[in-house]
Structures are given as C-alpha cells and as structure tokens.
Amino acid sequence: MLELKQIRESPELVQTRLQRRSAEYDLKPILELNRQQQELESARTRLQARSNEIGKLIGQKMQAGSDPKSPEIQSLKEEGNQIKTQLSELEPQEKEVKNKQLSFLLSFPNLPSESTPIGKSEQENVEIRRWGDEYLPKISNLLPHWEMGEKLGILQFNRAVKVAQSRFVNLVGAGAALERALISFMLDQQTAAGYLEVMPPALVNSQSLTGTSQLPKFAEESFKCEGDDLWLSPTAEVPVTNLYREEILDAASLPIHHCAYTPCFRREAGSYGKDTRGLIRLHQFNKVELVKIVHPETSQQEHESLVRDAEAILQALKLPYRVVELCTGDLGFGAAKCYDLEVWLPSSNTYREISSCSNFTDFQARRAGIRFREPGKKGTRLAHTLNGSGLAIGRTMAAILENYQQSDGTVKIPEALQPYLRREVL
C-alpha cells in the first residue's frame, strides 16, 4: 500500500511514477477524501476540546457553590448535549470517509523503483544474462512434456479431469516420485543456503491476502471456501509473510529468510486459451517459495541474492535459463522491482517463466503492519518484504521432461536428483 502522506505531499511525483506502469491512476478522488477526513478530524477535535472545557467549567462552578439549576450551568449542559449529538453524527461520517480512502489506497499498485526499466509491455523487458547453453538438447523432434509424460505413463490429464476438471494433473509412479524428489531437493538446497523451512497452513484468511496484496484486486483469481473467511492459498508468499503480520520485530532479528513447500491454487482468470495443455498453467500446483523480511537498507542486496538462490536450483539441475528484468509495464501489482527466471522449453522453442523474484519494498509491510524497532531509536520502521519461487515444481518437471529427452525415448534424470530417485532414467 502506498503511503498516504507521500500522495498528499507529492501527488505529481506519485502520479508520474504510477503512469510508468502504462495505466491510468487518478489521485484526485483520494486527495479529496483526505481533505474531507482532515476537515472532519479537525471539527471533531474542536468539539471534543469544547466538550472537555464545558465539563471543567461545570465542575469548577459547582465546587464554587453555584446552583446546579442555575441558568448558566443549564446553558453549559445544553451546549454539552448539543456537542455530544454533533460528535455522534460526525463519527459515522468520518468512518465512511476513512473506509473509502482505504479502498482507494488498496487499489493502487506499488511505485516502480527508479532502477526499473521503463516500458509498456513484456516486449520491453530486459534480458540480463543467460546460463547453460552447453546443456541445450542435442536431439531433434523432441516431444512436448505432456506427450512425453503420457508416453511414459507418469502424467494423467484425462483422469484428473474425471476427478476434478481441466487444468489438473494426476501424477503416477515415477511422476509422483519425481515431484516429491524435486520438492525435497529444493528444500535441501535452500535450507543449506540459510533459509529456515516452514510449513504454513494451506488455507488463509482475507486479512492475509490483503496484507500481501492479492485482495481486493485479484479475488477472482483465487478459490474461496464457502461459509468461511478462508481461501486456498495461491502461493506460500501469503501465509509465510503474514506469519509476522501486525508484529513489531527487533532489528537484530532481521533479516528473516524462510523457505516453504506448499500446494498452490489459482483460477488463472483471464488466461484461458493459453497454455491449456501440460504443466505450465494448472489450477493446483506445488511450489517451493523463498520469502525474506529485511531491513530497508539491505533490501536491494537481499533481492540480488534471492535471485542467485533461485538460479542455483536451475544450475544444479543443469537446465538452460535466462534472467529477465521486468519493465514498468509488466511489473506485478505489488512489486517495485522484479526479475523473472525463464527456463528453456525446447518443444516451444522459447524460454518460459519458472520464478518471479520480487522486491516489494515497504508496500506489503504497510498493508500487513510488519514493523521493526532499532535499539536506541524512537518509534518503529516498516520492514521490506521480498519473495520468489525456488522453484515452481511442475514447470521444473516440464523442463526436465523436455531438456533431458534421450534418442532412445527415455528421459534422463538430472544427476542432482538421482540420489533422491535412486534411478538414472524415466
């Protein structure tokens, strides 16, 4: 969430940076609401002050021996009653204005960082580096991963439709074992890199989704449980970040680094017709997530190291990939800066996103109330939050099934996974 003070004091600057996102955001309504709120607060303060003053005057006059029924005291009491009536009328007005103001604030995305490349769409994203060209497949006529998975008998899409609907998959035998191996391998790698593993709830409440900015904007992309204020978590970013919601942390406890395996659930609203086959865009998928809560002064360095930690998984699996910095027009709603890792999928002759590593600066922390206190200093400061996939399991499996195909029709298991699967080929 943006800081209201910044909008009020520097509306032109905020407007300019929001426009870099290639969308129109009108600050006039929230500025008008803020003016109304300040007027209501000022009026309430004056009335409360006068009410207190009347109470003291009545008390002083009574102590001095004045008759409680004297015209002077009766007049003061009448004025006090009128003020109480006015205050009772102001309270709902002020509450309504504050709610409208909050609604506007929640609708604004984060401001892109000054270092984020300016552009209108993904076509203007900036490639930073590539890795693993020497591991590109050497054979031609590769099968797409869904065909290879069905040929090997490890992926079942039709039976998953029978159980649920389209965009689900049933993993069988070595497919289920490969999924489990990838989860264990990624968690082992990230805990060795210094992340503390957590296993959070798979259901999250509305306050949690609001804290990490999935609500209210992306409500249609999530699955809600009827009869409860609970949603299926779209990503471990939500429950893990919200473990610290409304907390004041000690500065000495920062940085906090967590990794978490969770199932993830998304409707993928607006994406129908795209990636309708295979493991790329499912309603349910597994993911290992990296989450950081850090001091603002270190968040830039923490972002770069987060990217390297996600890259380390692809390098260990020897999967070719590239790192792309998203331009302002393609930036996620809450991100100030974001790098995508895109793995090579030979069947489509392109790189596809397998991890988004975002720095949210204080955007999520302001929504979720995550603060820290430094010793010897007054007040508190907002922490910075970051996260990234380390990695999406299904997309990693898709990349393995395509990049590791052999001329004899088998799929080789990456060496790093062989100890987990106790086999060399699928």
- Of 265, 220, 215, 278, which Cα lies nearest the Cα of 242? 215
Range of the domain at 78: 26-107
Q: Are residues 365 and 241 in the same domain?
A: yes
Catalytic residue flag (residue 41): no
Q: Are residues 128 and 96 in the same domain?
A: no
The pLDDT > 70 percentage for the chain reads 98
Q: Are residues 371 and 417 in the same domain?
A: yes
Nearest-Å Rg of the Cα atoms of the chain is: 28
247, pLDDT greater than 90: yes
The pLDDT value given to residue 62: 78
Instruction: Examine residue 112 and state whether it is found in any structural domain, yes or no.
Output: no
Instruction: Examine residue 321 and state whether it is found in any structural domain, yes or no.
Output: yes
91: domain CATH number is 1.10.287
| DSSP 8-class letter at 370 | -
The predicted model gives 153-177 an average pLDDT of: 95
Torsion of CA 142, 147, 151, 152, to 10 degrees: 80
The one catalytic residue in 17, 167, 266, 371 is 266
Q: Any residues with CB less than 8 A from the CB of 166 and at least 6 apart, and which?
A: 276
The one catalytic residue in 41, 124, 268, 353 is 353
Gap between the Cα atoms of 254 and 162, Å rounded:
47
Q: Are residues 248 and 317 in the same domain?
A: yes
Instruction: Examine residue 15 and state whether it is found in any structural domain, yes or no.
Output: no
The predicted model gives 152-179 an average pLDDT of: 95
The predicted model gives 65-74 an average pLDDT of: 82
Last residue of a domain, one of 107, 131, 151: 107
Catalytic residue flag (residue 353): yes
The pLDDT value given to residue 272: 54
Gap between the Cα atoms of 219 and 137, Å rounded:
40
The pLDDT value given to residue 298: 98
First and final CA of the chain: distance in angstroms? 47
Q: Are residues 161 and 309 in the same domain?
A: yes
Q: Are residues 132 and 88 in the same domain?
A: no
What's the total number of domains in the chain?
2
The pLDDT value given to residue 385: 98
What three-state secondary structure class fits 62? helix
Instruction: Examine residue 13 and state whether it is found in any structural domain, yes or no.
Output: no
Q: Are residues 409 and 347 in the same domain?
A: yes
Catalytic residue flag (residue 281): yes
Read off the tokens for 374.
């430094």
What three-state secondary structure class fits 382? strand
Query: What is the bridge-based pairing of β-strands 196-198 and 256-265?
Result: parallel
196: domain CATH number is 3.30.930.10
DSSP of 207-228 = HHHHHTT-TTTTGGGS-B-TTS
Gap between the Cα atoms of 29 and 39, Å rounded:
15
pLDDT, tens digit (0-9, with 9 covering 90-100), for 347-399: 999 999 999 999 999 999 999 999 999 998 999 999 999 999 999 999 999 99
Taking each helix axis from N to C end, the angle separating 393-403 and 299-317, rounded to the nearest 10 degrees, works out to 40
Q: Are residues 87 and 141 in the same domain?
A: no
The one catalytic residue in 355, 356, 358, 389 is 356
The predicted model gives 243-251 an average pLDDT of: 97
Gap between the Cα atoms of 279 and 246, Å rounded:
37
Q: Are residues 83 and 155 in the same domain?
A: no
Catalytic residue flag (residue 9): no
Gap between the Cα atoms of 229 and 9, Å rounded:
37
Gap between the Cα atoms of 373 and 371, Å rounded:
7
Residue 337 near residue 115, CB atoms below 8 Å: yes
Gap between the Cα atoms of 43 and 172, Å rounded:
68
For CA atoms 403, 409, 415, 419, the dihedral sign is positive
Torsion of CA 402, 406, 411, 415, to 10 degrees: -100
120, pLDDT greater than 90: yes
Gap between the Cα atoms of 111 and 334, Å rounded:
8
Catalytic residue flag (residue 267): no
- Mean pLDDT for all residues in the chain: 94
274, pLDDT greater than 90: no
Residue 398 near residue 280, CB atoms below 8 Å: yes
Taking each helix axis from N to C end, the angle separating 393-403 and 145-152, rounded to the nearest 10 degrees, works out to 80
Q: Any residues with CB less than 8 A from the CB of 261 and at least 6 apart, and which?
A: 183, 186, 187, 199, 236, 286, 287, 288, 289
pLDDT, tens digit (0-9, with 9 covering 90-100), for 195-232: 999 999 999 999 999 999 999 999 999 999 988 999 99
Say whether the peptide bond before residue 152 is cis (omega within 30 degrees of 0): no
Instruction: Examine residue 117 and state whether it is found in any structural domain, yes or no.
Output: no
The one catalytic residue in 44, 130, 281, 322 is 281
Instruction: Examine residue 10 and state whether it is found in any structural domain, yes or no.
Output: no
Instruction: Examine residue 426 and state whether it is found in any structural domain, yes or no.
Output: no
Q: Are residues 61 and 205 in the same domain?
A: no
- Of 129, 112, 144, which Cα lies nearest the Cα of 331? 112
DSSP of 1-17 = ---HHHHHH-HHHHHHH
* Cβ neighbours, 10 Å, residue 339: 24
Which H or E run contains 343? Answer: strand 337-345
The pLDDT value given to residue 275: 67
Last residue of a domain, one of 72, 107, 142: 107
Last residue of a domain, one of 84, 107, 130: 107
Q: Are residues 189 and 288 in the same domain?
A: yes
The pLDDT > 90 percentage for the chain reads 86
Q: Are residues 245 and 392 in the same domain?
A: yes
Instruction: Examine residue 116 and state whether it is found in any structural domain, yes or no.
Output: no
Residue 335 near residue 384, CB atoms below 8 Å: no
| DSSP 8-class letter at 110 | P
